[in-house]
Structure 1
Amino acid sequence: MTERSERNRATSGGLGLASARADEFALIPLPLAPALLSTEDGVVVRATEQAVKLAGETTPAALIGCRLADLVVRDGAVSLLRARGGRIPVRPLSWPHADDERLRVTVLLDVSDLTEAVPEQNNVGDSKERRWLIEAQRIAKVGSWVYYPETGEMYQSPVLSEFLGSSTTDDATNVGAMIALTHPEDRQRAEQFYRDVLRAREDELLEVELRDLPGRRVYLCTGRAEYNRSGRIERVQGTVQDVTEHRALERQLRDERRKLQDAQRIARLGTWEWDPRTNVMRLSTMLHEIIGKPTTAHTTFGSYLERVHPDDQEWVRQAWRPLIDRNEPVEVEHRYVRLDGAMRILRLHGTAIRDADGQTVLVGTAQDVTEQRAVVTRMERSSQRFTDLVSITPVGIGVFDGAERLVDANDALCDLLGYRLEQLRGMTVPDITHPDEQATGLPAPGERCGIRRRVPQRVLVRSDGEPVYCELHTSSSVQDDGTQFWLVVFQDITERRRAAEALRYQATHDDLTGLPNRAAVKDLLSNLLGRADSHRVAVLFCDIDNFKRVNDSLGHDAGDELLVALARRLEGGLPDGCTAARLSGDEFLIICQDIEVVGGVDSLATRVSGLLRTAVPVHGQLIRVSASIGAAVPNGTGAGGEDLLRFADAAMFEAKRRGTGKVSLASPALMASADRQLHLEGQLREALNNDGLALHYQPVVNSDGVVVTAEALVRWPHPDRGMLAPDAFLPVAEQGDLLRELDRWVLRTALREAATWPARNGRPVGVAVNLAGLVPGGPEFVDAVADIVAETGIAWDRVILELVETALVDLPSRTRHEMGELVGRGVRFAVDDFGTGYSSLARLKDLPAQIIKVDRRFVAGVGGDASDFAVARAVVDMARAMGRQCVAEGVETATQFHVLSGVGVEAYQGWLFSGAIPAHAFRDLVGRGPLAIPGA
């Protein structure tokens, strides 16, 4: 007996208590660590073998009966275990026992590697144990640290230093240095972790996951604060565990883990112990619940057998004999009848152990497997299922030895490479790698086994010589004999690669013609203009003349067929070094890498013009087409690809103004004009965003001079050029793709202002908005109009949407449905400038509109030109016969008014009554009542 044991047992009387209750405490489960079990008054009643070894004793008896306060003492900031070989720095962790709160479990963590304190008798064995501890930390991938708040010093174990790539080992550092070694995105959480630890309750364990500085590894960091008797923190201890592989494994085995968790969740497992000398059986709380007995009930082997199903009692009694007579382990599964009459199936395991006094005790488990039998069976077969899964999975899996020779493979890998397994065995990685592939080996193994690596693409070769594109996932490991091997997963990405190439092609090529699109044009121009000879580059912008007429008369399918035919002519007829592209609609682009090789801009433009001036059979008809072409070359000012496109586009518009089939070269003046146009476009965009435009309103009156509606006309109060009419900036809006946004602004502003107009005699004035970009059939047309009407609060029947005649010809059913939906809510549609489009008067009956506006060119001559009068009268008669309202535009004389009134025109718009006036002036005009009609 040691001197320590003599002293404690003599002073506390704990020896008698410990001896008397040794049997009772012998089977209470303790952690597999240096652990002590003590009573409420601090007397040790049980010690694990690890605790005995840590204390330098040979048997638990040397510790049992001692007071815990005498065994573990405080020396400043360090707790010391009084051991036979000296005092060992430890970290005690204590908590109430789960089965009996009167008992406490204390685990002693050896922290010799974290403190400068050393055993009193330092020797070679202590140093060896320290090395063993550090090696154990490396194996477990766990480092440790201690922080002293009062001094700000922090100590880290050698393993933690290795984790962090720190140059210090067992040397003091500080919190800031530790935080600096974490990933920048995690440093705020690391700082919060240290702050939380310093505010935590005593024995409260905090955790946080952080990445290392490169972001490749993930660590689980824990910390716990230790307080002194005055309530101040003496030190903070923690661990850092590398969980990178754990997280990867969790993702990989999530499905299997879920199945196992389900099985564990529904399984109920209890424990028992049986002392053959007293015939008393002690059952755990769960086992009491399983067999339906109260925890206060006395249980013996006989009372247990009484509840066994009568048909099973005899053979169960015999099944227990090997354990009772010879202490041989047994496994018994039988039926059990609970006190409530329910029958369960129990699976029991039993074995014999010796307690601390050397007496034999029978212990075991009992599990209710009535419902869980199938689950347990599945769990037992999990390994086989995994093997079968590898065998049948469609992903190729191969095992390679250290020399990168294939040892084994599943059927999917054999099918992928076109070999039988016997043929594959012995092949090396270079043997199955395509000759064009530069990388022929597996990735270099990591410092530790189990590190997984991914190779995004590797080209393998099949037995027939065809290439196979694979993504490789590799992991190195070792067999039981220490031999290294590779586990490689081959994911066939050949189809994925083809799909990616197809997507790249689609992203850079036009769907209809297959020519390069705008994105490809930008890339090509960027490359060409970055060369030293960029001055030789030329761009030709081609627009098919009157292409809209083909779409309107023959339909969009015919237009598409025409575009495809022209694309093929360009592809086959352009000289080498020239690339044809389609930007949008009927716009083609020709990019020439070296204009001098093809004879100059004029020669190339003439050739392209000839290719696009042709007759093409479309839908059984021979369509003759031509193109307006604008050409541009770099002007030496460092213009980029977008600038070159703008200059060519501006030259094309100049050519189109001169007539069909013309060619124009972008001159310096034209380029300057294009720059001004771009500047004006930017100003217009800013004006739209900042409500920098204004609306004027021109009244529409009936024959009595009463204002019934007003047409909203947009104006631009330009800061430099004054008030601009629409014809000055609408082309800019069209080229800048701003028409839709402009229409939304005009519609929203007009409806908002009209909602405030006064109503005379209960008749509110309607408002008409001419649409050019926001048109039926366009994206979100109905929703856009409905949202604006709801936002402004105006009545639906006051809204008139004007469209030009050509926009309403050959409407598809979906567009007609959209218009009908708005008409059903009260909106009216008006045909603006009727008679100037490509349709005949006979098509009037097909137009989904309620108002017909006769174009001012016919109104101007109704007083003296018989033809104009006849057209106007025909339009009015047909409109009235079909229930449409007829409005005459451009009425400027009393004669025109009287003639039109005589043929039945219902409303009039023009300078005879009023021009377009600002919003406030129009409100005053409406408030004054009917307008006076000159000559009436």
Structure 2
Amino acid sequence: MTERSERTRTTSGGLGLAAARSEEFALLPLPAAPALLSTADGVVVRATDQAAKLAGESTPAALIGCRLADLVTRNGSVSLLRARHGAHPVRPLSWPHADDERLRVTVLVDVSDLADTGSSAAQAAEDDERRWLIEAQRIAKVGSWVYYPETGEVYRSPVLAEFLGEPESQSTADLQSMIDATHPADLPRAHQFYEDVLSAPEDELLEVELRDRAGKRVFLCTGRAEHDRAGRVERVQGTVQDVTAHRALERQLRDEQRKLQDAQRIARLGTWEWDLRSNVMRLSNMLHEIIGKPDTTPITFDSYLDRVHPDDRSWVRRAWRPLIEDGDPIEVEHRYVRVDGTTRILRLHGTAIKDADGRDVLVGTAQDVTEQRAVVTRMERSSQRFTDLVSITPVGIGLFDRAERLVDANDALCDLLGYRLDQLRGMSAKDITHPDEQNTSLPSPAESSGLRRRVPQRVLVRSDGEPVYCELRTSASVQDDGTHFWLVVFQDITERRRAAEALRYQATHDDLTGLPNRTAVKDLLSRLLGRADSNRTAVLFCDIDNFKRVNDSLGHDAGDELLVALARRLEAGLPDGCTAARLSGDEFVIICSDVDSVGGVDSLATRVSGLLRTAVPVHGQLIRVSASIGVAVPDGNSAGGEDLLRFADAAMFEAKQRGAGKVSLASPALMASANRQLQLEGQLREALHNDGLALHYQPVVDADGVVVTAEALVRWPHPDRGMLAPDAFLPVAEQGDLLRELDRWVLRTALREAASWPVRVGRPVGVAVNLAGLVPGGPEFVDAVADTVAETGIAWDRVVLELVETALVDLPSRTHDEMGELVARGVRFAVDDFGTGYSSLARLKDLPAQIIKVDRRFVAGVGGDASDFAVARAVVDMARAMGRYCVAEGVETATQFHVLSGVGVDAYQGFLFSGALPAREFRELIARGPMPVPRA
């Protein structure tokens, strides 16, 4: 690329202007000299032949479109024209064009003769002077700069280049690069400074402080504009001084002064100075604040004495005489009455010094010690109160020396240990500690003062030899004479310890039988299974056969009596190393620590079975009982205590299925099944928490095929086993105590989905939920139902709660009240599987239910079995007579439908009409309208 092309690739705006208005520029007069005509932004739009010749160009057109700042640059104090044959020294003179003020005329004066005339000696002297100037700037940390507005060029001294972190040889730049070297937060002030310098009157010096880009250095920048004869700014000169150290010193001085003032304010300490010749006392600002004098004018010694408390004035005057007459230091503390009438206590120190002129001056401090004196007074009173308190407190307190010998004690400690004070003095901590107590010493006296220690329990001994349980609290302290001592508080915790032992016993033992409970069993198994020979441990899980029959027939008191009798038989008949425990209800557990020592698992199981197979007199009757027993031993797979209990429990259920009084050993297959059940329980719990279950709905229709209600049936879309029916996971929920949570989920989900079902012919479909865990009489039953109805927004009269018949027999009054409260709001209760429980038809009238559901076992035979037909008809007749709504379950054939319809059944549920459908399909079923019914 040629120099001409490089010059002309400036701004397209300048070239466009030059091309568009070339004829107009050609008419503007220019001097007959090397002259250039440029726009306001410095783009050359016309040049004379002399200028082209000076630049080494053949025609002036080669210079058009170039920037003036690119053509004329500055090197130190010399301007250079970039000519084709090299840089040419010139002196540019510039002014606005007379015919167009938007354009400027620049005449380039050839000064090459001046640049070449200097002798080598003169040049050397100039170079030396320049070096001295640069060194002087470096020492003074001052750089210099010159700005030429005509060309936009800035000359920077080497020192300023060092400040800006640029090469010393780079002496030229533009104004923007100077500004950009400023900290971002200071950029607005930097721009304003340069604008103010350019617009300020001639020779007016402006200053500003700016930080470098990193914010670590502070510079004092100055600038002054120089004008030509036409009043235009010809150039701007300035300096940049590094004042970082000065500002840091100023900040340090300010900080020190502030710290001194803060310290005086915190200490309430002021200073004073007294010139004896003028009798003038000058006070610091803090001292003026202390004495409450609003102004800061000097005072005299007499005016100071006038404010001293009248009772202290005479002796204060005498106390000052040694300082006034002989220059001896003094210390005076007295009361001072402030202008506002309040009294303060001042402590003054004074001494004599000589000032810079050798004259005697008295100086000193005055401190407000009013609060300190008040604290001392309070401490003295508090000390007396403490002494009085120690003497009357009911807690034993003793004072021990470094040798741990008792120096003093209060009456309570004497009473606690049964000694007189003169007997206790001189006794060591070991002397009053019970012989069975291992630790007899107090914490080391070498501990620092103020340290407090607590000893939760220490057994002391009374003078009569009886043990006393105490909680010790010790504190190291120092007397006024510097003697270290221990203050020990003895809190009698004998009764508290007994109460704690009783609570501990209650927490680990069964209230009824006194046997260890589940918590104790877990602790015992944890210890046994932590041994090296843990494989010798055995767990026997025992469940009393038909125990519920005893409770139902004879009452719970009789059942409790039976359990206590069996517990005593186990305690008396078990071999050594075996522990009997009661987990809950009629469940006992036997823990054997060494099964080999009792003859093996079979021998132990036979013995335990024999102890629980007996006849026990209860309430005047002889009750024969037996127990189903499950046995589990560690299998080498690091089973924990909970696992062994679970395996033994599963084995007990297996034994119970074989008949009463049987014993079953937990086999590997049974353990694996129990583990699968546990895993399934965990997955079910997770599914409940994450809405991983689903509801299907089976319609209940009337005689016309209209869907009146739908029973919600829970399903589990298991990720590995597919869709699971309730019989696959309800036993797991029952064993894992999840039935209540499962019922809550079903109730909430069913009511929420039913609230959005379509309504046909103005008859919304009700929804029935079968409850097993969330039942009347249980905790928060009414609130749980009410909250769910309110949350889902469904109408109360659309909710049907189904309960099995056995759950509604012999209901207590509280349960009746709860059901009545919900019925009053519109909820209906249904008796599910009626006819399969213990109740008779005569008890039907006592059931607080509005709907009776005839069990499918009777429905299945109504068409051919006379007894089934009789039962079904009896149930329907009783229900109708008592105003109950009757629903037949398991209707699968047209014959069943016609027979049941003939006896007066109100509604029908079964596969004849529809099985259980997913929520979406059931919505479609409702939308289609009445279902077809078989015709006779």
TM above 0.5, yes or no, is: yes
Q: 1:859-915 deviations in whole A, cap 9, x for unaligned?
A: 334445554444444433444444432222223344443443344332222233222
User: What amino acid is aligned across from residue 505 of structure 2 in structure 1?
Assistant: Y
Flag the 1:403–1:854 CA change in 2: closer, same or farther, 3 A: same
Provide structure 2 residue ranges, at least 5 long, that are not aligned to the other structure. 1-213, 219-242, 256-265, 322-330, 355-359
Using the TM superposition, give the Cα deviation of residue 407 of structure 1 relative to its aligned residue in structure 2, in angstroms: 0.1
After TM superposition, the structure 1 stretch with the greater mean CA deviation from structure 2, 902-911 or 544-553, is: 544-553
| Contact 1:271 1:366 (8 Å CA) reproduced | no
Flag the 1:864–1:427 CA change in 2: closer, same or farther, 3 A: same
Residue 779 of structure 2 is aligned to residue 762 of structure 1? no
Flag the 1:655–1:391 CA change in 2: closer, same or farther, 3 A: same
Aligned to 1:800: 800
Q: 1:229-288 deviations in whole A, cap 9, x for unaligned?
A: 25599999x9xxxxxxxxxxxxxxxxxxxxxxxxxx9xx999999999999999999999
Describe the SS at the equivalent of 1:431: coil
TM-score w.r.t. length of structure 1: 0.61
Alignment partners' CA distance in 1, 2:501 and 2:406: 32
Alignment partners' CA distance in 2, 1:540 and 1:748: 41
Describe the SS at the equivalent of 1:785: helix
Aligned to 2:430: 430
Using the TM superposition, give the Cα deviation of residue 381 of structure 1 relative to its aligned residue in structure 2, in angstroms: 1.9
Using the TM superposition, give the Cα deviation of residue 831 of structure 1 relative to its aligned residue in structure 2, in angstroms: 1.9
Aligned to 2:909: 909
Alignment partners' CA distance in 1, 2:476 and 2:286: 43
Q: 1:483-517 deviations in whole A, cap 9, x for unaligned?
A: 43222233444444444444443443334433222
Residue 934 of structure 2 is aligned to residue 934 of structure 1? yes
Aligned to 2:538: 538
Using the TM superposition, give the Cα deviation of residue 427 of structure 1 relative to its aligned residue in structure 2, in angstroms: 0.4
Alignment partners' CA distance in 2, 1:687 and 1:337: 80
Aligned to 1:229: 246
Flag the 1:715–1:435 CA change in 2: closer, same or farther, 3 A: same
Alignment partners' CA distance in 2, 1:597 and 1:892: 62
Q: 1:707-749 deviations in whole A, cap 9, x for unaligned?
A: 1111122233445544433222222222233323332332333
Aligned to 1:516: 516
Q: 1:517-551 deviations in whole A, cap 9, x for unaligned?
A: 22322332333344454444332211223334455
Alignment partners' CA distance in 1, 2:244 and 2:509: 71
Aligned to 2:202: none
Aligned to 1:696: 696
User: What amino acid is aligned across from residue 538 of structure 1 in structure 2?
Assistant: A
Q: 1:465-492 deviations in whole A, cap 9, x for unaligned?
A: 2323333333334445544322223344
Alignment partners' CA distance in 2, 1:814 and 1:273: 91
Q: 1:369-407 deviations in whole A, cap 9, x for unaligned?
A: 9xxx99998665222112222333344321111221100
Aligned to 1:643: 643
| Contact 1:327 1:351 (8 Å CA) reproduced | no
Flag the 1:869–1:550 CA change in 2: closer, same or farther, 3 A: farther
Q: Which has the larger radius of gyration?
A: 2
Alignment partners' CA distance in 2, 1:631 and 1:744: 36
Provide structure 1 residue ranges, at least 5 long, that are not aligned to the other structure. 1-197, 203-225, 239-264, 309-315
* Number of equivalences: 674
Describe the SS at the equivalent of 1:473: strand
Describe the SS at the equivalent of 2:756: coil
User: What amino acid is aligned across from residue 644 of structure 1 in structure 2?
Assistant: L
Using the TM superposition, give the Cα deviation of residue 431 of structure 1 relative to its aligned residue in structure 2, in angstroms: 0.1
User: What amino acid is aligned across from residue 755 of structure 2 in structure 1?
Assistant: A
Aligned to 1:468: 468
Alignment partners' CA distance in 1, 2:277 and 2:809: 106
After TM superposition, the structure 1 stretch with the greater mean CA deviation from structure 2, 847-856 or 280-289, is: 280-289
Aligned to 1:712: 712
Alignment partners' CA distance in 1, 2:457 and 2:378: 37
Flag the 1:564–1:842 CA change in 2: closer, same or farther, 3 A: farther
Using the TM superposition, give the Cα deviation of residue 408 of structure 1 relative to its aligned residue in structure 2, in angstroms: 0.7
Q: 1:88-134 deviations in whole A, cap 9, x for unaligned?
A: xxxxxxxxxxxxxxxxxxxxxxxxxxxxxxxxxxxxxxxxxxxxxxx
Aligned to 1:834: 834
User: What amino acid is aligned across from residue 396 of structure 1 in structure 2?
Assistant: G
Describe the SS at the equivalent of 1:758: coil
Aligned to 1:417: 417
Alignment partners' CA distance in 2, 1:529 and 1:292: 80
User: What amino acid is aligned across from residue 645 of structure 1 in structure 2?
Assistant: L
Residue 848 of structure 2 is aligned to residue 848 of structure 1? yes
Q: 1:595-617 deviations in whole A, cap 9, x for unaligned?
A: 34434434433433343344556
User: What amino acid is aligned across from residue 541 of structure 2 in structure 1?
Assistant: F
Describe the SS at the equivalent of 2:630: strand
| Contact 1:287 1:366 (8 Å CA) reproduced | no
Describe the SS at the equivalent of 1:829: strand
Alignment partners' CA distance in 1, 2:757 and 2:349: 101
Alignment partners' CA distance in 2, 1:636 and 1:302: 101
Describe the SS at the equivalent of 1:570: helix
Aligned to 2:575: 575
Using the TM superposition, give the Cα deviation of residue 432 of structure 1 relative to its aligned residue in structure 2, in angstroms: 0.8
User: What amino acid is aligned across from residue 587 of structure 1 in structure 2?
Assistant: E
| Contact 1:433 1:460 (8 Å CA) reproduced | yes
Identity of aligned residues (%): 81
Residue 741 of structure 2 is aligned to residue 724 of structure 1? no
| Contact 1:828 1:851 (8 Å CA) reproduced | yes
Aligned to 1:158: none
Flag the 1:894–1:387 CA change in 2: closer, same or farther, 3 A: same
Using the TM superposition, give the Cα deviation of residue 298 of structure 1 relative to its aligned residue in structure 2, in angstroms: 12
| Contact 2:816 2:848 (8 Å CA) reproduced | yes
Aligned to 1:256: none
Describe the SS at the equivalent of 2:471: strand
Alignment partners' CA distance in 2, 1:903 and 1:680: 45
Residue 766 of structure 2 is aligned to residue 749 of structure 1? no
Describe the SS at the equivalent of 1:761: coil
Q: 1:271-329 deviations in whole A, cap 9, x for unaligned?
A: 99999999999999999999999779999999999999xxxxxxx96775555578799
Using the TM superposition, give the Cα deviation of residue 428 of structure 1 relative to its aligned residue in structure 2, in angstroms: 0.5
Aligned to 1:408: 408
Give the RMSD, CA atoms, in angstroms.
4.9
Q: 1:203-241 deviations in whole A, cap 9, x for unaligned?
A: xxxxxxxxxxxxxxxxxxxxxxx98425599999x9xxx
Q: 1:591-645 deviations in whole A, cap 9, x for unaligned?
A: 2233344344344334333433445566676655432222233445554433332
Aligned to 2:774: 774
Aligned to 1:151: none
User: What amino acid is aligned across from residue 229 of structure 1 in structure 2?
Assistant: H
User: What amino acid is aligned across from residue 416 of structure 1 in structure 2?
Assistant: L
Alignment partners' CA distance in 2, 1:438 and 1:587: 43
